[in-house]
């Protein structure tokens, strides 16, 4: 037997209705906020991610699924959705179109991580990107979109926000970080030693216990924001308050990807263990230009669908079950089955969810099967019924039966 690759999951028919529900809600919320769907390839040129996501991030240095194709090009399965959306936005000239461009996507993403609960190698994201708007009401809108989705799904999760400033204030902060970490250089992990040189902000994102212990007392970015970044952050807080979105300021949020500027945010929960971040995002004003486009501000986020489903399960949020068949038509013998087949076809054409037997079951076994499917009605056609042109319809919720003519079947079941 060939097994499923480590860190991936099948969504079985018994579970897929949950995915459809969450994805349906994500599309509904997207509509509410006037977001349009963008679909980009599952793989891109590796350079898009190394330049876009950042050379010093764990995602790029350790986690990408990268391979050479037969044309000797370096290709990578997308580890996240932002870089691909930005590439497409630039390549299709949307940067010259009507702004802001408000986009969403539902995608598989791939990261070679150590699998554990809530951490997979293939996972799925609902992501939102808003291109072209620089004011803090847009950052607030991104947060409100995520908040609306989470609330509509019945979850109580609070957003944590922070600002990591712009390249100007980051310079002063990086200097302060280097001064702080310099005495601890020997104690830092191998990766952090190189982060210290290349991108000190990444030191704050290290998962190693020793580094985390040292990080606790590191200087805080909020103390180093320039006047513009400070007032942007103040505006954001005011907009969130206006919209009635509760938030918490967490100066430790720096995010794991390099493209962020100013606002960063995360929705986390302790109910699903160590991998508690269900949604992460922020502003990334430099990325579009960095990937070859015009100067164009942007903000967005992504929700991890597996973590969302885990959280819904852990917190007892029930998901409306799949649609059940309205009617199961059982046939007693071969001729009756043929009639059942014919009526079933008519019902389906009219839009009634109907089912019949395909396994040559006995009438008793057909009833059992209809029950398993959760059919609301079971219509039985026996020899007598076939002669009289009727079927005996049993309402499975109250046990009552009545006779319904074959020619009235569609009329009878429509709207049941
Ligand atoms: P991210 O924080 O790397 O951000 O991922 C967003 C969400 O995807 C996480 O909060 C988590 O729920 C889920 N996720 C990430 N890695 C895994 C994994 N290995 N297994 C299961 N779920 C995972 C981004 O990807 C950014 N592109 C978000 C963004 C959009 N920022 C601006 N625009």
DSSP for 273-339 reads TT--EEEEEEE-TTHHHHTTS-S--EEEEEEEHHHHHHHHHHTT---PPPPPPSEEEEESSHHHHHH
CB 409 within 8 A of CB 347: yes
Query: How much is the pLDDT for 274?
Result: 77
Alpha-carbon distances, residue 203 vs 53, 114, 171, 255 (angstroms): 16, 20, 15, 11
Q: Whose CA is nearest to atom 7 of ligand 1?
A: 304
Burial environment of residue 246 by CB neighbours within 10 A (0 to 12, 13 to 18, 19 or more): exposed
Q: At what angle do helices 167-181 and 190-198 cross, to 10 degrees?
A: 140
Instruction: Report the C-alpha gap between 406 and 391 in whole angstroms.
Output: 7
Q: Whose CA is nearest to atom 4 of ligand 1?
A: 280
Closest atom of ligand 1 to 59 CA is: 3
Regarding beta strands 277-283 and 263-268, do their DSSP bridges make them parallel or antiparallel, or are they unpaired? antiparallel
Ligand 1 centroid, distance to 154 Cα (angstroms): 21
Mutate-to-test residue for ligand 1 from 280, 306, 310, highest number of ligand atoms within 8 A of CB: 280
Ligand 1 centroid, distance to 178 Cα (angstroms): 28
pTM of the model: 0.94
Ligand 1 centroid, distance to 125 Cα (angstroms): 7
Burial environment of residue 321 by CB neighbours within 10 A (0 to 12, 13 to 18, 19 or more): exposed
Closest atom of ligand 1 to 255 CA is: 2
Ligand 1 centroid, distance to 256 Cα (angstroms): 9
Closest atom of ligand 1 to 307 CA is: 12
Alpha-carbon distances, residue 402 vs 260, 328, 380 (angstroms): 66, 15, 11
Query: How much is the pLDDT for 270?
Result: 79
Q: Whose CA is nearest to atom 1 of ligand 1?
A: 280
Ligand 1 centroid, distance to 304 Cα (angstroms): 6
Instruction: Report the C-alpha gap between 311 and 319 in whole angstroms.
Output: 12
Q: List per-residue pLDDT tens for the chain, 416 residues long.
A: 999 999 999 999 999 999 999 999 999 999 999 999 999 999 999 999 999 999 888 899 999 999 999 999 999 999 999 999 999 999 999 888 899 999 999 999 999 999 999 999 999 999 999 999 999 999 999 999 999 999 999 998 899 999 999 999 999 999 999 999 999 989 999 989 888 988 898 888 888 899 989 998 999 999 999 999 999 999 999 999 999 999 999 998 989 899 999 999 999 987 777 778 999 999 999 999 999 999 999 999 999 999 999 999 999 998 988 789 999 999 999 999 999 999 999 999 999 999 999 999 999 999 999 999 999 999 999 999 999 999 999 999 999 999 999 999 999 999 88
Name the β-bridge partners of 356.
329
Q: Whose CA is nearest to atom 20 of ligand 1?
A: 119
Q: Is 203 helix (H, G, I), strand (E, B) or coil?
A: helix
Mutate-to-test residue for ligand 1 from 307, 308, 312, highest number of ligand atoms within 8 A of CB: 307
Who lines ligand 1 at CB under 6 A? 80-82, 111, 113, 118-120, 123, 125, 127, 129, 256-257, 277-282, 300-302, 304, 306-307
Q: What are phi and psi of 414, to 5 degrees?
A: -65, 125
Query: How much is the pLDDT for 397?
Result: 94
Closest atom of ligand 1 to 279 CA is: 10
Joined together, the tokens standing for residue 363 give: 């009438």
Closest atom of ligand 1 to 304 CA is: 12
Q: At what angle do helices 16-32 and 305-314 cross, to 10 degrees?
A: 110
Mutate-to-test residue for ligand 1 from 57, 82, 118, 302, highest number of ligand atoms within 8 A of CB: 302
Name the β-bridge partners of 405.
390
Closest atom of ligand 1 to 118 CA is: 21
Ligand 1 centroid, distance to 321 Cα (angstroms): 27
Mutate-to-test residue for ligand 1 from 123, 153, 155, 263, highest number of ligand atoms within 8 A of CB: 123
Closest atom of ligand 1 to 121 CA is: 19
Ligand 1 centroid, distance to 301 Cα (angstroms): 8
Q: Quick one: three-class SS letters along 85-101?
A: HHHHHHHCCHHHCCCCE
- Which ranges of 160-199 does DSSP label H, i.e. alpha helix? 167-181, 190-198
Helices first, then strands: H and E counts in the chain: 15, 16
């Amino acid at each position: 037997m060939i097994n499923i690759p480590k860190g991936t999951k099948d969504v079985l028919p018994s579970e897929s209705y949950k995915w459809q529900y969450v994805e349906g809600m994500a599309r509904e919320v997207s509509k509410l906020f006037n977001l349009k769907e963008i679909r980009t390839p599952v793989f891109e040129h590796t350079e898009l991610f190394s330049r876009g996501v950042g050379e010093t991030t764990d995602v790029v240095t350790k986690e990408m699924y990268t391979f050479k194709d037969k044309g000797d090009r370096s290709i990578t399965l997308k580890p996240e959705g932002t870089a691909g959306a930005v590439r497409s936005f630039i390549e299709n000239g949307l940067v010259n179109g009507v702004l802001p461009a408000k986009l969403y996507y539902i995608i598989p993403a791939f990261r070679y991580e150590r699998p554990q609960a809530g951490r997979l190698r293939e996972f799925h994201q609902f992501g939102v990107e808003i291109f072209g708007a620089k004011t803090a009401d847009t950052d607030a809108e991104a947060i409100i979109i995520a908040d609306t989705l989470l609330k509509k799904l019945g979850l109580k999760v609070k957003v944590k926000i922070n600002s990591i400033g712009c390249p100007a204030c980051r310079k002063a902060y990086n200097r302060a970080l280097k001064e702080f970490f310099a005495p601890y250089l020997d104690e830092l992990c191998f990766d952090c030693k190189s982060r210290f040189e290349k991108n000190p902000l990444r030191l704050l994102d290290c998962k190693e216990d020793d580094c985390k212990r040292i990080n606790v007392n590191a200087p805080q970015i909020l103390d180093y924001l320039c006047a513009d970044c400070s007032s942007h952050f103040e505006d954001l807080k005011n907009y969130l308050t206006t919209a009635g979105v509760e938030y918490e300021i967490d100066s430790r949020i720096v995010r794991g990807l390099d493209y962020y500027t100013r606002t960063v945010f995360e929705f986390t929960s302790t109910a699903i263990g160590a991998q508690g971040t269900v949604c992460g995002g922020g502003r990334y004003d430099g990325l579009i230009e960095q990937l070859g486009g015009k100067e164009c501000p942007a903000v967005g986020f992504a929700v991890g669908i597996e973590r969302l489903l885990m959280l819904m399960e852990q917190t007892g949020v029930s998901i409306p079950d799949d649609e059940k068949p309205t009617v199961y038509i059982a046939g007693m013998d071969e001729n009756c089955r043929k009639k059942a087949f014919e009526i079933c076809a008519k019902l389906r054409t009219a839009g009634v969810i109907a089912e019949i037997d395909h396994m040559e079951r006995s009438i008793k076994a057909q009833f059992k099967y209809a029950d398993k499917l959760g059919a609301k009605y079971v219509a039985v056609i026996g020899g007598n019924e076939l002669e009289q042109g009727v079927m005996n319809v049993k309402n499975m919720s109250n046990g009552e039966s009545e006779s319904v003519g074959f020619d009235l079947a569609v009329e009878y079941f429509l709207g049941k």
